[in-house]
Structure formats: C-alpha cells, structure tokens
Amino acid sequence: MSDIEIAQRAKMQPIIQLAAEKFGIPAQDLDPYGHYKAKLSLEYVDSLSHQNSMGKLILVTAISPTPAGEGKTTTTVGLGDALNRIGKKAMICLREPSLGPCFGMKGGAAGGGYSQVVPMEDINLHFTGDFHAIGVAHNLLSAMIDNHINHGNALDIDPRRIKWKRVVDMNDRALRQITVGQGGPANGYLREDGFDIVVASEVMAILCLATNRADLKERLGRIVIGYKSDRVTPVYASDLKAQGAMAALLKDAIKPNIVQTLENNLAIVHGGPFANIAHGCNSVTATQTALRLADYAVTEAGFGADLGAEKFINIKCRAAKLSPSAVVLVATVRALKFHGGVAKDHLNQENLDALKVGFANLERHIHNVTQNYKLPCVVCLNHFTHDTDDETAMVVAKCAELGVKCVISKHWAKGGEGAEELAHSVLELIADETPKLEFLYDDKLPLRDKIETIATRLYGASGIVMSDKIEAELKELQANYGELPICMAKTQMSFSTNPATRGAPSGHTVEISGLKLENGAGFIVAIAGNMMTMPGLPKVPTAEKIDIDDNGVITGLF
Amino acid sequence: MSDIEIAQRAKMQPIIQLAAEKFGIPAQDLDPYGHYKAKLSLEYVDSLSHQNSMGKLILVTAISPTPAGEGKTTTTVGLGDALNRIGKKAMICLREPSLGPCFGMKGGAAGGGYSQVVPMEDINLHFTGDFHAIGVAHNLLSAMIDNHINHGNALDIDPRRIKWKRVVDMNDRALRQITVGQGGPANGYLREDGFDIVVASEVMAILCLATNRADLKERLGRIVIGYKSDRVTPVYASDLKAQGAMAALLKDAIKPNIVQTLENNLAIVHGGPFANIAHGCNSVTATQTALRLADYAVTEAGFGADLGAEKFINIKCRAAKLSPSAVVLVATVRALKFHGGVAKDHLNQENLDALKVGFANLERHIHNVTQNYKLPCVVCLNHFTHDTDDETAMVVAKCAELGVKCVISKHWAKGGEGAEELAHSVLELIADETPKLEFLYDDKLPLRDKIETIATRLYGASGIVMSDKIEAELKELQANYGELPICMAKTQMSFSTNPATRGAPSGHTVEISGLKLENGAGFIVAIAGNMMTMPGLPKVPTAEKIDIDDNGVITGLF
C-alpha cells in the first residue's frame, strides 16, 4: 500500500477529545480545523511557561541524504509512537510540509509507511493555512516597498539595493529572476526582482523563532529590506510601518498545530523553514510546548546533521535555551552504499565493499554530534526490505567500534512496534548521562571565524574562500551584526559544496558565494557554493498524477 | 465605534450549535474552523438537492457606486437580520472579501456598523483559506506551463500566446507586467507575463459556478491556457494534466462557509470573483444551499446593477437556473449627489438640486431591473447621518413617480431592527407578483450582438466599437464559443467606460479593448475601456495602520 492509502485507512480520533485525554488540554484552548486538526491557543501555551518541569528533548537528524531522504520524519514519528507504546508520555514535534514539492519530485512530508501523521492529505495540502499566511505577510511587505518608491520614495530606498524578494508556495523556476514594474508609469519603476519559495522566506524563520506576539512583531519590524541611496543605511520593515499588518496576518499562524499519528499519539506540526537556506527546524513555541506537556519531546532537524542539526543547535538551541538529551542519527544501508559510490539504480543489490566505504559519511556525522556538541548519540538504521543481514550487521559492528549503538528499526513497516528497541536505546542513553551541550562557536567570535569554524570542524574542509566583494560585505556586517550566528546555506547532499562529492570529503575548500542578513530572524545566511531558493518542477511533475474523485478522495499524493 | 470595534463586541454563538438550532444542520456535516466558522460537507449539500421545496431568492444590488461603496453587503446583512426578526426563515449569502484591498484603500467586506458578519477579522484575513487554495491552484497551472516549455514543449505551446497569467492576493502594481525566466537556461525561457489579483482568476469564477466536484474538475480541465504555434489550436489545462491536482488543491475551498451576523443569524460566505472582470457573485453552491435551507435567501451581486446584477442574471442565473423573486436596489443620498456633480468633500451638505440631477443614475438602474429583466424592485435608501429629511423625502417621492417604493433604511445604525420596513416591503413585493425573469439576450445571439445589446440596452450607449484586431479575435471566438454568455469588464463608476462620467450618460460609445476566453468558467470576458486586473496600493496604505496587540486583538482593519 502507498503512504496515502495507509493514511486514508487510519482510525483517527477527534483531535479535541484526544488532546484532552492524552495531555489534559482544555477544549476551549483548541481551535479546531475540521475534526482532526487543531491550533493551541497562545494563552494556553503561555500558561505552560510558568511551570518548572521540562521533558527531555530528543533530536532526530540524519546522515547526508540521497534525493529520496532517509526517513527522518518517519523515524521521528515511529520513535514517538514507540515511546508511547512502552508507557512513556512522549510528544512528536515536526515541521510542516511545503506545498511546492508535493507537485514536483520530493512529495509530501508527513512521514511514511506505518509511521505517519494524519490527516496526510490535509497536512500536505494547505494544512491550517500557516504557509499561506506567511506568504501573504511576506508579499505585503514587498508590495509596500515598491508602492513606497512609486509614491515618491520618501525613505530614499535604493531600488538597486532592495534585498527583499517576493514568495510563492510553488516550484516555479520561471520566477527565480524577473523584471517587475514593466508597462509604463502606472505600474511603478522597473527593477530586477525574483521569487523564493515560501519556506525560504525570512518571515518563516521569524515565525519559528518568535516566542510570543510581541517578539514576533518586533522581529518583523527589524527586517532589513535593503539600503538607502548612501548604500549603507539599512531600511527596516518598521520604516515602512509594515510590521503591524504583517503580524495581524500571522495571528493564527503563530499558534502551534496539533494532529495525531496513525497510532493516535499527538504531534505538534508547526513551521517549516528550509534547512538549506534557513535554520530548518519547527517553531520554538512548538518544541517548548511539547517539552512542557510531555516527558519526552521527539523532534527533527532538516536534511543531514551537518545542516539541520548544526542549525538546530547553534541557532535554535542558542536562541531558545534548549538542550537535547539525546540525538538519533538516521542512516540507511541504501544511502551508505550511495556514499560508497553505488549508482542510484543499483542500491537494492548487496554491496558490502561500497557500504564499508560509504560508512565514512555516518562516521563523520557521529563524530560531529558526539565530539563537537558533546551529545550522546544512537544510530537508527531505518530498515528497507532489500537490506541484507550482512549489510545491517556490518553497520551495527562498525558503529560499535566507534562506541555508538546502532539499532535496526522497522517502524516504516510496523509503526511504533518496529521502533521499540530504538526507544529503549534512547531511554538508556538519556538515563546514562546528562550531557552538557557545547556550541560550535561563541557569539563573540567574528563572523568570518564562525563560518570557518563550521567549514573546518564540521564539514572537514581545509578552509573557506570568498571574493573581495563578499569579503567586504562580511566586514560591513561584522561592524553592525557581528554577534549574530551563521546560518549556512549549503547542499544537503555532501559535506562539501559539491553535491556529487559523496562520503566524507576532507581538505576541500568552501566557497562563500553570497551573504544575506536576516536581521528579524537573527542570523546571517552564508551561501556556500551554488544554492537555489526556488526549486523547479521535473519533466514529469507529480502534479500530473494527483487526482481527486467525486467523493473527495485524493490519489497520487505521496 | 468603528466596524471592527462593533464586531469585536459581538456575542457570537458557537457556529455548530447555531447551525443545528436554526436549520437542523447535523454537526457531522460541518467542518469547524475555530469555533465561529465552519464548512458544510458536500454530502450534506448534495442531500439537500433531492428536496423539491425552494425558498425565494432576493437579490441586493446597487446604483453606480462612489469609491467607498454604497452599503450593498451591509444592506444584505441588515435585510437578512430583519427578515429573521419578523419571524421569517432567511439565510444570507455573501461573497468572501479579497485580502489585497484590506491593505489598500477599500478595506474589508463583511458589512458595516450593526449589520456585519463575524468574526470580522477572520472573514477579512484568510477566512477558511479558500482564496489561498484558489491562488495556489492557479499558480500550479502557471508553473506547469513554463515547466512544460522548459522540458521540450511537446505540446508546441506558443510562448508568445500564453493567456494564463499568475496570481497573488495582494494589491501590487509592480507585478502587473513582468518578464519571467531571466537568469539563464536553468530558469527556463524568457517571456512576458503578469500577475492578477486572486479574485480575478478564472479558477475563482470556476469554483463559483461549479455544481459539484466532477463539474469543478471538468471545468478546470477545459481552461484554455493559450495556443499552439499554429496560432489557433487551443491548449487546455487538461493537455498539461493539471486539473486533478488543481481540483485536489480545491478540496475544501469548494465547500460553502457558514458564519453568523451580529444578531446570530446564519450567513453563507463563499467565493468572490471580481465584479468588474469576472461575474462577481458568490458560489452557485452557496445560493442553492441557502434556497434549500431557508424560505428566503438574500444575496448580493458586486458593484452597480449594470455590472453585478447583469452578470448575476445573464451568467449565474442562466447557468444555475436561478430566478430572483425580488430585487433590492441600494442607493445613498451621498452617491446620488455625487452623480449630480457634487465633489467628494461636499457630500455631507444638503444639495437638493444635485440630488435631483443625480437621481438619473438610480432611475436608469430601476429601468434596467424592471423593464429589461422584468423583475420587481424596491429601492433601499441606505441612511447616512448627514442625510436631511428633505433629501430623503425627495428620493422617496421621485421613486414613487416611477411606481417603485423607496424605503429609508437604518440597518447600519440599528441592525435588523433598522431594516424591518425594508423587509416588509420586500415580502409585499414577493407576495404581489411572481416574476418571469427575462434574460437580456439569447444563447444563440452572436457574441458581437450580445455585447452590443448589453451596451445599448443597459448602459444607454449608442453602440460599440473595436479595433480590427479585436474584431478578428471576436470572429474566431464566435466560430468555436459563440453560445457562451458575455462577461463585461467595465468600470463600476459609470454607465460609460469613463469613470468620471457620472449620472446616466446616453449616446456614448463603448470601446471593446480586449477579449478573454474563460472557457472553464463558461463565458467570454469583453473588456470595455481601460480595466485593471491588479490594483495598486495608495500613497498611505491602510496596512500602515493595521496592528495587533500582545493579546491578539487587531485594530485598524475596516
């Protein structure tokens, strides 16, 4: 059965009832969206903040993934279900899926097999409208910028130095670089512009890092949309008086969403910044709420640990004073063989030699988690039907050599039951030690050194390079925003900036090709190599196969 | 008190409970969106279609409006409340507000004063996400077009003859005319394009005219996105296999929304095509559902009767086999003085001479309703505090001369109570006669004659003109789509194509400046004069004043 078929057979409980049963959440603090989705009131979220007890945070991250992904969300759901099965009070925290990729190649992002959150179609299509609200808030600011210039440009915005693009929740390469304002005076001034996908919007990152409505509005006001004609004076969203209306548009989007797994356990699914261009984790509000409601909060960080976990720790944990009690590193035999040089079409055949070579990728991620962040780690080998016993045994043995436990987990096929061993291993890890999280760098470290630290200590690079122009830009940012953390934008496919370099490359050079100040989110994006903030559709997009019948049953979504 | 302050003081009832009480709608047939908004299941809508009894349809339309609008929505709500007050079972049917104008000059569209639907902020901002779903469905098709061309253009689409633009729910003049696909081969082929506001999308019109999911998908597939390189062969959305995914995106948007008035009466608020470029009425599903649930369904048609009512009758009533039992023509003393030549800043001063001259506008609309469509009509003089007794008396007397009753209505200040006299007058009208609706033209009439009929018989024009190019285009459309009705796109400010020509101009010429086939919606748009399908923001947009406080209370939205 396909994921959507499994999801459509789920026996869902009314969410209001389930939230009351599982965590005693009062009905009046939940806004229902249909019968199986709800938003938590911020008053309730706030009321929780006065309690002292906090659950343990479990971070699920992964090796450098193949294009199909290695099952990070699936594992997060499976582990959450397993913890609940063995009698623990656990809450799952996920990012919301992006609409665009549903119609392209990647598909949805609500887990897979028997480890999914439901209603799957709703979560993948529109959900509770958060991303639409973010998109409109973003585009309102865009419209206000061009409108301000059109009506006399009292703020003296340099139209050539506007950094704020527009967004759409679609994979649409034709919109990456455009010219706006054509057609004469009635349509404003001509300038170059472009569209990003909504998940790449700074508004998305802001929503995910804001701790309440006041913080949200302040961050929105702090957005730097570009510079004045003196080239250096920043223009803020607050100069355009945009932050109030933007925050009003986000009035509901800021509230965390609650849904359930196939096994009727609760999951908070909220926010979803791109893990390659933004920080790639769900909202701080979601994570903190889960930690206050449950004894264990299981959350995920986008793409491989070099991207998602790095930002989870150095950006989100730093900002929100969070600290994971354990890390689950998801790997697959398939992806390890891929890193060992096997072509995509041959990943279903046993290949122990390639597996051994490709293991280097996992080893590097283990090293990063345990040595750089000083966090305890367990490897979850997400089992695929073609994996042979010799292959899985080799991964387990090689992990053991590194002093790390590797659990073969079958939650995709069996749900929570299949991840029980993983759950026990995580609990042992948490019982064994109380880790003291170390950040990779200090706030005070100069921006250039922060980037270099990430590249050398985490990516295994020998150093970083950048053009004189970028170097000068970095210097300017250092003067005014030097204490901000770095948000690396890098391919998720490799430790290097070249997606084709698999395994665990060393001694390579990381070229910084661009910088982007996200002052509202509170970080500086450093673009490593060639990164796109607007995907395209493939030759045969999934959209061609998606359908809905006369009764509203959807097919072809995966 | 401002509209939003009045709305925020409303004593709302939980909508599920209210729907059960008032119309016996079962809870399981309602999807709640928060506690005060809900969507009706299509199964329930369908179950109603098997009953024979139908309520009476009351159409609220207006004279040619000033830029502020004359209170058509306010009157629709007030009349609905009044009918309920005097013991009738009445349901209100409104269009959804468009987000963009909330941030510009026009503001929201949920009624005003004590005749509003609530929750006002929710209805004006995002509501249940219908317009976002429509926007994404539209933009998915756009992305699939450019993607198809990028990957080899097997359908041989002429990139110069693509008629399908992109949409965004924002007033953003910079996006009216753009160039997409810049930046080299990775971003596709360069071509000229543009954005319309979401309400101008054909998908919006389709959603409003579709009678069920199958009809929706078929209409989406029928959309003509442009032509092949032979210049004449149409390319359909179904050629791109887009209709299934588009319909899936509209899975919830197709369900009618239920909210309540300040007086706790039910209103269906669903769909909202532009009344100048599209047909400007709420969904057929909404109107039919209201007629099946209630004894009286009160609905509105956008802008003045020359635009909204004309399309309501000749497009919507024709397609959905509806027939109004009575028409309410909304006028204001202010607007009549405006039509009599008074400047915007002097409308609050008594001016009987100007009122007498401006009455010609109302007279023309009365004539059109009663003589062209043969529908019984009552004039609602929507009372403003500055109206003098002599002014209102003059309007009443002049209407009486035409054999039409004019009721001074104070629902803005008093809610349903203020519209009770109007309600009684409407009921008398319905009791007195059973009208036999006449369409303005027959399906078989050639397209050119249809346009000419509208211009001469409704607008008072002496005839139509068009360039040879448009003439040739019309001829081609005649060959293949000759039986479709015409959807006129004209300024709402005047019977002519010049917004500055007030009153009731005669003998003018209507220039047809463009044609647009909307094959999925089932009409041909004829653009009269200079029409914009993407508004701009004013120098000081309302967005600057909109705010939200730490507790989520919104201000500045009107």
Residue B433 has pLDDT above 90, yes or no: no
**Hey, which residues does A61 pair with through a beta bridge?**
A329
> A402-413, pLDDT tens digit by residue?
999 999 999 999
| Interval A424-445 mean pLDDT | 95
Q: Is residue A556 part of a domain?
A: no
CA distance A438 to A429: 18
Residues 211-250 of A with CB under 8 A from B: 212-214, 217, 240-242, 244-245, 247-249
3-state secondary structure of B421: helix
Q: Is residue B520 part of a domain?
A: yes
**H or E element: which one contains A515?**
strand A509-518
How far is it between the farthest Cα atoms of chain B?
71
> B199-243, pLDDT tens digit by residue?
999 999 999 999 999 999 999 999 999 999 999 999 999 999 999
| Total domains, chain B | 3
Q: Is residue B515 part of a domain?
A: yes
Q: Is A66 annotated as a binding residue?
A: yes
Q: Judge residue B413's burial from the number of C-beta atoms within 10 Å of its C-beta, 0-12 exposed, 13-18 middle, 19 or more buried.
A: middle
Question: What Cα–Cα distance (Å) separates residue A135 from each residue in B107, B329, B526?
Answer: 20, 39, 32
> Does the CA dihedral A289-A291-A295-A297 come out positive or negative?
positive
Residue B109 has pLDDT above 90, yes or no: no
Per-residue pLDDT at B25? 97
User: Which pair of tokens denotes residue B358?
Assistant: 């401006």
CA distance A531 to B390: 71
| Interval B308-323 mean pLDDT | 96
CATH number of the domain that B117 lies in? 3.40.50.300
Pairing of strands B326-331, B56-62: parallel
CA torsion, points B330, B335, B336, B341, in degrees to nearest 10? -160
Residues B354 and B455 in one domain: no
Residues of A whose CB is below 8 A from B35: 31-32
CA distance B239 to B221: 8
Are A303 and A492 in contact, with CB atoms under 8 Å apart?
yes
Residues B134 and B114 in one domain: no
Per-residue pLDDT at B51? 82
Q: Is residue A72 part of a domain?
A: yes
Residue A109 has pLDDT above 90, yes or no: no
Taking CA–CA distances from B184, the nearest residue in chain A reads A177
Q: At residue B257, what are phi and psi to the nearest 5 degrees?
A: -95, 140
Residues 6+ apart with CB under 8 A from A471: none
Residues A70 and A20 in one domain: yes
For residues A299-317, one letter each, b for 16 or more C-beta atoms within 10 angstroms of the residue's C-beta and e for the rest, the string is bbbbbbbbbbbbbbbbbbb
pLDDT band at B165 (very low <50, low <70, confident <90, very high): very high
ipTM: 0.96
Binding residues of B, by number, are 66-73
CA distance B323 to B140: 36
Residues of B whose CB is below 8 A from A539: 151-152
Residues A410 and A461 in one domain: no
Are A185 and A145 in contact, with CB atoms under 8 Å apart?
no
Does A192 reach chain B within 8 Å, measured CB to CB?
yes
Query: Could you say which of B249, B280, B305 is where a domain stops?
Result: B249
User: Which pair of tokens denotes residue A175?
Assistant: 């919109």
> A207-228, pLDDT tens digit by residue?
999 999 999 999 999 999 999 9
Residue A51 has pLDDT above 90, yes or no: no
Dump the DSSP string for A225-280: EEEETTSSSEEEGGGGT-HHHHHHHTTTTTSPEEEEETTS-EEEE-----TTTS--
The mean pLDDT of chain A is 96
pLDDT band at A9 (very low <50, low <70, confident <90, very high): very high
Residue A278 has pLDDT above 80, yes or no: yes
CA neighbor of A428 nearest in space, from A377, A392, A370, A371: A377
Cβ <8 Å between A543 and B140: yes
Residues B407 and B259 in one domain: yes
CA distance A424 to A405: 12
CA neighbor of A169 nearest in space, from A120, A209, A210, A134: A134
Residue B30 has pLDDT above 80, yes or no: yes
Strand order in the sheet with B191-193: A191-193, A178-180, B178-180, B191-193
Residues B404 and B517 in one domain: no
Please give, rounded to a whole number of angstroms, the shortest distance from the CA of B146 to a CA of chain A. Answer: 7
Structural domain containing residue B204: 130-249
Residues A216 and A340 in one domain: no
Residues B299 and B176 in one domain: no
Q: Is residue A35 part of a domain?
A: yes
Q: Is A5 annotated as a binding residue?
A: no
User: Which pair of tokens denotes residue A394?
Assistant: 């080799």
Residues 23-62 of A with CB under 8 A from B: 31-35, 42
Does B373 reach chain A within 8 Å, measured CB to CB?
no
Q: Is residue A267 part of a domain?
A: yes
Residue A106 has pLDDT above 80, yes or no: no
Q: Is residue A538 part of a domain?
A: no
pLDDT band at A446 (very low <50, low <70, confident <90, very high): very high
CA distance B195 to A139: 13
| Interval A494-501 mean pLDDT | 95
**Hey, which residues does A40 pair with through a beta bridge?**
A30
Per-residue pLDDT at A531? 85
Residues A341 and A453 in one domain: no
| Interval A322-336 mean pLDDT | 97
Residue A469 has pLDDT above 80, yes or no: yes
Question: What Cα–Cα distance (Å) separates residue B341 from each residue in A415, B180, B346?
Answer: 74, 45, 10
For chain B, what percent of residues have pLDDT higher than 70?
Answer: 100
CA distance A287 to A49: 12
CA distance A266 to A16: 11
CATH number of the domain that A511 lies in? 3.10.410.10
User: Which pair of tokens denotes residue B505?
Assistant: 């101009």
**H or E element: which one contains A42?**
helix A42-48
Which parts of B209-349 are beta strand (E)?
A: 224-228, 234-236, 257-261, 266-269, 296-300, 326-331
Residue B52 has pLDDT above 80, yes or no: no
Taking CA–CA distances from A248, the nearest residue in chain B reads B548
3-state secondary structure of B281: strand
Q: How far apart are the first and last CA of chain B?
A: 11
Per-residue pLDDT at A380? 98
Residues A53 and A145 in one domain: no
Residues A391 and A291 in one domain: yes
Does B187 reach chain A within 8 Å, measured CB to CB?
yes
Reported residue count of chain B is 558
Query: Could you say which of B203, B230, B249 is where a domain stops?
Result: B249
Reported residue count of chain A is 558
Question: What Cα–Cα distance (Å) separates residue B120 from each residue in B19, B94, B108, B110, B478?
Answer: 18, 13, 8, 6, 44
Query: Could you say which of B229, B249, B269 is where a domain stops?
Result: B249
The mean pLDDT of chain B is 96
> B325-359, pLDDT tens digit by residue?
999 999 999 999 999 999 999 999 999 999 999 99
- Active-site residues of A, by number, are 72, 74, 95, 106, 275, 303, 384, 412
Residues 6+ apart with CB under 8 A from B506: B460, B461, B462
B352-B356-B357 Cα angle (round to 5):
120
Residues of B whose CB is below 8 A from A249: 125-126
> Nearest Cβ partner of A143 from B170, B247, B248?
B170
> B169-206, pLDDT tens digit by residue?
999 999 999 999 999 999 999 999 999 999 999 999 99
CATH number of the domain that A196 lies in? 3.30.1510.10
pLDDT band at B69 (very low <50, low <70, confident <90, very high): confident
Among B22, B56, B72, B311, the active-site one is B72
Residue whose token pair is 């928060």: B34
Cβ <8 Å between B548 and A133: no
Residue whose token pair is 């992964």: A62
Q: Is residue B408 part of a domain?
A: yes
pLDDT band at B302 (very low <50, low <70, confident <90, very high): confident
Pairing of strands B326-331, B377-382: parallel
CA neighbor of B197 nearest in space, from B103, B111, B335, B66: B103
**Hey, which residues does B525 pair with through a beta bridge?**
B487, B516
Residues 6+ apart with CB under 8 A from B5: none
CA distance B214 to A553: 12
SS (H, E, C) A266-334: EEEECCCCCCCCCCCECCHHHHHHHHHHCCEEEEEECCCHHHHHHHHHHHHHHHHCCCCCEEEEEECHH
> A365-398, pLDDT tens digit by residue?
999 999 999 999 999 999 999 999 999 999 999 9
| B397 Cα distance to chain centroid | 31
Per-residue pLDDT at A127? 97
Phi-psi region of B540 (alpha: psi -120 to 50; beta: other; left: phi over 0): beta
> A377-386, pLDDT tens digit by residue?
999 999 999 9
| Interval B373-383 mean pLDDT | 97
Residue whose token pair is 């008594």: B350
3-state secondary structure of A556: coil
Per-residue pLDDT at A533? 87
Which parts of A351-416 are beta strand (E)?
A: 377-382, 406-409
Residue whose token pair is 């090709």: A513
Binding residues of B for ATP, by number, are 66-73
Residues B46 and B97 in one domain: yes
3-state secondary structure of B128: coil
> Does the CA dihedral B420-B425-B426-B427 come out positive or negative?
positive
CA distance B108 to B126: 11
Per-residue pLDDT at B68? 80
